[in-house]
Amino acid sequence: MSKPTILFLDGGMGTMLQQSGVSLGKVPEELNIREPDVILDIHRQYIEAGADVIYANTFSANRYKLRDSAYSVCELVTAGIQNARRAAAGTGCRVALDIGPIGQLLEPNGNLSFEEAYDIFREMLLAGEAAGADLVVFETMTDLLEVKAAVLAARECTKLPVWCTMTFEENGRTFTGTSIPSMGLTLTALGVDALGFNCSLGPKKMVPFVKELAKWTPLPLILKPNAGLPNLNSNTYDMDAAEFAAEMAEALPYGACILGGCCGTTPEFIRTIKKEFGGCTPAPRDYAPKFALCSASHLLEVDGVCIVGERINPTGKKRFKEALQNHNIGYILTQALEQVEAGAKILDVNVGLPGIDEKALMVEVVKELQSVVDVPLQIDSSNAEVLEAALRVYNGKPLVNSVNGEPAVLARILPLVKKYGASVIGLCMDENGIPLTAEERFVIAKRIVETAASYGIPKEDLYIDCLTLTASVQQKEVMETLRAMTMVKEQLGVKTTLGVSNISFGLPNRPLINTTFLTMAMQHGLDLPIINPNLPVMTGAIDAFNVLTNRDVGSKQYLEKYGEQAASTAAAAPVKASEPTLDYAVLNGLKDAAKEQTKKLLASMEAMDIVNQILIPTLDEVGIQFETGKLFLPQLLQSATAAQAAFDVIKERISSQKTETIQKGRIIVATVKGDVHDIGKNIVKVILENYGYDVIDLGKDVPIETVVEETIRRDVKLVGLSALMTTTVVNMEQTIRALREAVPDVKIWVGGAVLTPDYAKEIGADFYAKDAKQSVDIAKQVLG
C-alpha cells in the first residue's frame, strides 16, 4: 500500500455562493434544487483546485431549519449529494454529506431532547447515504452532546465513515464550554474516524488547538479554518491564500493532515495549500493513550489517587432513600456539590431502590447532575438497560460501575461500554462469588482484561476492583484484597478501585478502620478509592499519602490546604451539610433550593430587596464569571433557571400585593438578537407590570426587525433592551440604531450584566438601568 498523504478538502461554500450573486434566501440548501448549476460550478472549481473530498451543500438541511421550507429534508439532501456526485464524477474526489448544528440547543441548555436530536440527524443521514455520500462530516459543532447524538445516529443507522470538526473560540472552548481534551477523549472513544476544527478563527490561532487535540486522540486531524478574522467594516476576510497556507504550515508538525478552508476561503486557497503540501506525508505522532474520564467541560486524568464520592447511593441512607422516593432531585444535587467541594474527582451515581423506575430516574439524575457539576460520573447499576439509557445521554466519557468475571455479564455489559465509549470497573468475582485468595481474584481480573480487549476496549479503560470484604466477618481475607491489587496493577497494567468503607461494617469507630485500610490500600496501588469525601480524616489520609510518597511535590497542595489552619482545628469534624443559601443556590443552579430559600426569606425581607440585594448581584456575579471564562453557557443558563424559580415565588408575592390598576403606558421589553439569557428582562417585565405599565414582552433572541416593527405597530414610546453577553452587545447597538432611524422619538433604555452607564451612552441608549427598580424610575420619567 502506498504511504498516506495529506488530504485536501474544499473551501467556503457560503463565501462562493455570496460571490456568485444568487440570492441565498433563508435556507441556502434550497439552491440545490433551484440553482443546481451554481452549486455544481462551485464544486467543480474546488475539485479543479485539488480537493480530494468535497462537502455537499447540505449543512443546514435539517427538519428544524427547513420547517418553513417548501422542500423536505430528503429532497434537499438528495439533491445536494447528487450535485456533488455529478461534479465529482470521474475525478476520484469523494463526496461528504455535510451536517451542521441543528440550530436549537439541546437540554439542559435548550428544549431539544437527546433522542429528538438523534432523530433529526438520522433523517439527514439516511437520505445522504441513500443518495450516495461516501462519508459524513459533522462540522461547526459547539455542543459535545449534540455531536454524540449525531455520531450515534451515524453509527447505528449508516455505514458511512464519520468525520467531525468542532468550532472553538480563542479561549479554547466552544460556545457551550466544551474543552478540546473532552472533545478528543469522548469522540475518539465513540469511534469517529477523523477529528478536528473548522470555522471561527484563522489557521494560526488554531495551531495550539491542534497540538492539544493530538494529545487526546490518535485519529487523523482535520483543519478547516476561516481566512483569518472577519473585518467588521467590510464584512469580508482579510487574509489571502499565501498567508493562509503559511499559517496552515504551522499546524502540520502536530498532525493536521486533512486540510481545507471555511468562511472566506476560495478555490485559490485550496490550490495554494495543495501546491504547498500536496504529496506530503502526515507528521508522525507520539500519541499515548491515557487513563482519563470527562464531562464536556472538564477532563480528569487518573494519574494519582482520585476520590470517587460514594454518597449518591441509597445504601444505608434513610434520607437519600426518602429523597429518591419523593423525587427530590434538589437533595441529590446538593449531595453532589458537597462532595465535589470536599474533593471528589468522580461521583458514583446509584439510584436503585425497590419500587422505583431506576432507568427513568438514572437518566434524569445524570442529566441534572451534569448541569450543576462538571466532574465525570460513575454510573452505578447492575441493570444493563439502566446503564445503556444513562450512557446514551451522558455528556463526555463516563465510568461504568460495573462488570464482573461472569461470562454472561461480560457479554451483556462490555458491548455497551465499547459502543458508548465509556471506561468500566471490573469486579474480581464471578458466578461463584468472590474467591478467597489473591491468586484466584487475579485470574478473574485477567479474564476481564482479556475479554475487554476482544471487544476492542483497551486497558486504559479498565479499573479493576479486587473487592473489599468486611473485616469483622472475613478478617483473614483483608490482606488478600490488597495483595491481589498489587498483582493486578503490576501485571495487567490497569488502574484499580475499591469501595473502601465496606471494610468496617460491624465494627465500632468505623472511620478509624476506614482510614487505616485506605492508607494501606493506597500503598498497594489503589487509584480510585470510593469513599465519603465529607470525612476530613479520609481525604486527609490521601493528602498525607501524597506528601509521604513524594507525589505532592514540595507538599504544595498539603500546605495550601492545611498551612493556615491552627494545628488544633485541622482534624475538624465532618463538613457540615448546611442548607444552601439563595445566592449559593443561584450560583450553583439549584432550582428547588432557590425556591425554598426565597420562600423563607420573604418572611423577613421585602420582595424587591431580595431581587435587588441577592438575585441581581448574584446573577451579575454569574455573568462576570461567564465573561471571564470561569464558567460556561450551561452553568449560566442553569443559574438563570434557578433565579427564575426564585423570581416566580417573588412574582406571586408581588402580584398578591398589587394595588395600582390604572394603565400607565405601553412598554416593549426584549432580549436582543443572539442572546438567550432573559432572566433580567423577565424580572423587569414583572416589576413594570406591577407598577401598572402595559408591557409587551418580545421574548429572547429577538431579531432587530421585530423590535422595530413591533415598536411602530403598537405605537410604543419606550423600549427596554437587555443583553448579557459582550458578544451580543453588538446586536444591542444595531437594534438601537435601527430603532432610532425608524422611530426617531422613541426612548430606549438598556440593562444587563456587562453594561455600564458609559457603555450604554456609547451605543446610543437614552438610559441605563442597573436593576429592575431603576427601570421603573425610567418608565416613570418617560411615561409618568
Among 32, 371, 468, 639, binds ligand THG (CB under 6 A): 468
Among 88, 425, 645, 772, binds ligand THG (CB under 6 A): 425
In sequence order, what are the residues at sequence separation of 6 or more whose Cβ sits closer than 8 angstroms to the Cβ of residue 755?
723, 729, 768
Q: Considering only 81-89, 497-505, 608-616, 773-781, which stretch makes contact with ligand THG by CB under 6 A?
A: 497-505
Run of H or E including 370:
helix 358-372
Nearer to ligand THG among residue 201 and residue 518 (C-beta) = 518
Q: Does 433 bind ligand THG (CB under 6 A)?
A: no
Q: What angle do CA 721, 727, 729 make, to 5 degrees?
A: 25
User: Is the bond preceding 203 in cis, omega lying within 30 degrees of 0?
Assistant: no
In sequence order, what are the residues at sequence separation of 6 or more whose Cβ sits closer than 8 angstroms to the Cβ of residue 660?
691, 692
Among 83, 266, 502, 598, binds ligand THG (CB under 6 A): 502
Q: How far is the CB of 470 from ligand THG (least distance, A)?
A: 11
Nearer to ligand THG among residue 186 and residue 468 (C-beta) = 468
Q: Does 146 bind ligand THG (CB under 6 A)?
A: no
Q: How far is the CB of 370 from ligand THG (least distance, A)?
A: 20
Separation between Cα atoms, residue 328 and residue 321, nearest integer Å: 10
Nearer to ligand THG among residue 416 and residue 776 (C-beta) = 416
Nearer to ligand THG among residue 572 and residue 624 (C-beta) = 572
Q: How far is the CB of 311 from ligand THG (least distance, A)?
A: 7
The amino acid present at 686, given as its one-letter code, is V
Interface mask toward ligand THG for 153-192; x: CB under 6 A: ----------------------------------------
Separation between Cα atoms, residue 726 and residue 195, nearest integer Å: 30
Q: Shortest CA distance to 128 belongs to which of 104, 167, 102, 162?
A: 162
Q: Does 499 bind ligand THG (CB under 6 A)?
A: yes
Q: Considering only 48-56, 308-316, 442-450, 746-754, which stretch makes contact with ligand THG by CB under 6 A?
A: 308-316
Q: How far is the CB of 500 from ligand THG (least distance, A)?
A: 8
Cα 334 to Cα 329, 340, 399, 581, 715, distances in angstroms:
9, 10, 21, 12, 48
Nearer to ligand THG among residue 259 and residue 530 (C-beta) = 530
Q: How far is the CB of 83 from ligand THG (least distance, A)?
A: 54
Among 142, 313, 370, 597, binds ligand THG (CB under 6 A): 313
Longest dimension (CA), the chain: 88
Q: How far is the CB of 765 from ligand THG (least distance, A)?
A: 54
Nearer to ligand THG among residue 468 and residue 588 (C-beta) = 468
Q: Does 501 bind ligand THG (CB under 6 A)?
A: yes
Q: Does 466 bind ligand THG (CB under 6 A)?
A: no
Q: Considering only 6-14, 59-67, 499-507, 687-695, which stretch makes contact with ligand THG by CB under 6 A?
A: 499-507
- Length of the chain equals 784
DSSP 65-76: TTTT-SS-HHHH
Among 75, 98, 276, 310, binds ligand THG (CB under 6 A): 310
What letter does residue 425 receive in the DSSP assignment? E
C-alpha cell at 209: 488547538
Q: Considering only 119-127, 310-318, 337-345, 653-661, which stretch makes contact with ligand THG by CB under 6 A?
A: 310-318
Separation between Cα atoms, residue 584 and residue 597, nearest integer Å: 10
Among 290, 317, 321, 599, binds ligand THG (CB under 6 A): 317
Among 402, 404, 515, 641, binds ligand THG (CB under 6 A): 402
Among 404, 497, 644, 722, binds ligand THG (CB under 6 A): 497
Q: Considering only 97-105, 298-306, 409-417, 494-502, which stretch makes contact with ligand THG by CB under 6 A?
A: 494-502
Site for ligand THG in 339-378 (CB under 6 A): 348
Contact yes or no for 270/10 (Cβ under 8 A): yes
Q: Does 315 bind ligand THG (CB under 6 A)?
A: yes
Q: Shortest CA distance to 672 belongs to which of 719, 629, 638?
A: 719
Q: How far is the CB of 402 from ligand THG (least distance, A)?
A: 5
Among 9, 530, 538, 724, binds ligand THG (CB under 6 A): 530
Contact yes or no for 732/672 (Cβ under 8 A): yes
Q: How far is the CB of 374 from ligand THG (least distance, A)?
A: 22
C-alpha cell at 543: 493528602
Q: How far is the CB of 527 from ligand THG (least distance, A)?
A: 12
Q: How far is the CB of 427 from ligand THG (least distance, A)?
A: 6
Q: Considering only 311-319, 519-527, 698-706, 736-744, which stretch makes contact with ligand THG by CB under 6 A?
A: 311-319
| Lateral strand order in the sheet of 162-166 | 7-8, 256-259, 221-224, 194-198, 162-166, 135-141, 94-99, 53-55
Interface mask toward ligand THG for 98-127; x: CB under 6 A: ------------------------------
Burial degree of 36 (CB within 10 A; 0-12, 13-18, 19+) = middle
Q: Around Cβ 493, how many Cβ atoms within 10 Å?
A: 11
Q: Considering only 88-96, 270-278, 315-323, 598-606, which stretch makes contact with ligand THG by CB under 6 A?
A: 315-323
Nearer to ligand THG among residue 373 and residue 429 (C-beta) = 429
Q: Shortest CA distance to 775 belongs to which of 681, 706, 700?
A: 681
Q: Around Cβ 42, how many Cβ atoms within 10 Å?
A: 27
Q: Does 383 bind ligand THG (CB under 6 A)?
A: no
Among 21, 90, 316, 433, binds ligand THG (CB under 6 A): 316
Q: Does 515 bind ligand THG (CB under 6 A)?
A: no
Measured over the CA atoms of residue 282, residue 287, residue 293 and residue 298, the dihedral's sign is negative
Give how many residues touch ligand THG by CB under 6 A. 18
Q: Which residue has the cell 461504568?
A: 400
What letter does residue 586 receive in the DSSP assignment? H
Nearer to ligand THG among residue 316 and residue 554 (C-beta) = 316
Separation between Cα atoms, residue 388 and residue 768, nearest integer Å: 51
Separation between Cα atoms, residue 652 and residue 284, nearest integer Å: 64
Q: Does 532 bind ligand THG (CB under 6 A)?
A: yes
Among 10, 143, 465, 596, binds ligand THG (CB under 6 A): 465
Alpha carbon 265 to chain centroid, angstroms: 29
Phi, psi (degrees; rounded to nearest 5) at 379: -85, 115
Separation between Cα atoms, residue 399 and residue 381, nearest integer Å: 11
Q: Shortest CA distance to 237 belongs to which of 197, 202, 270?
A: 202
Nearer to ligand THG among residue 300 and residue 779 (C-beta) = 300
Nearer to ligand THG among residue 75 and residue 348 (C-beta) = 348
Measured over the CA atoms of residue 332, residue 338, residue 340 and residue 344, the dihedral's sign is negative
Q: Shortest CA distance to 311 belongs to which of 358, 377, 368?
A: 377
For the chain, the C-alpha Rg in angstroms (whole number) is: 29
Q: How far is the CB of 577 from ligand THG (least distance, A)?
A: 10
Among 401, 638, 728, 731, binds ligand THG (CB under 6 A): 401
C-alpha cell at 262: 471555511
In sequence order, what are the residues at sequence separation of 6 or more whose Cβ sits closer than 8 angstroms to the Cβ of residue 70?
30
Q: What angle do CA 303, 305, 308 make, to 5 degrees?
A: 115
Nearer to ligand THG among residue 36 and residue 352 (C-beta) = 352
Strands (E) located in 363-519: 377-380, 396-397, 399-404, 423-427, 462-465, 495-499
Q: How far is the CB of 233 from ligand THG (least distance, A)?
A: 60
Q: Which residues bind ligand THG (CB under 6 A)?
A: 310, 313, 315-317, 348, 380, 401-402, 425, 465, 468, 497, 499, 501-502, 530, 532
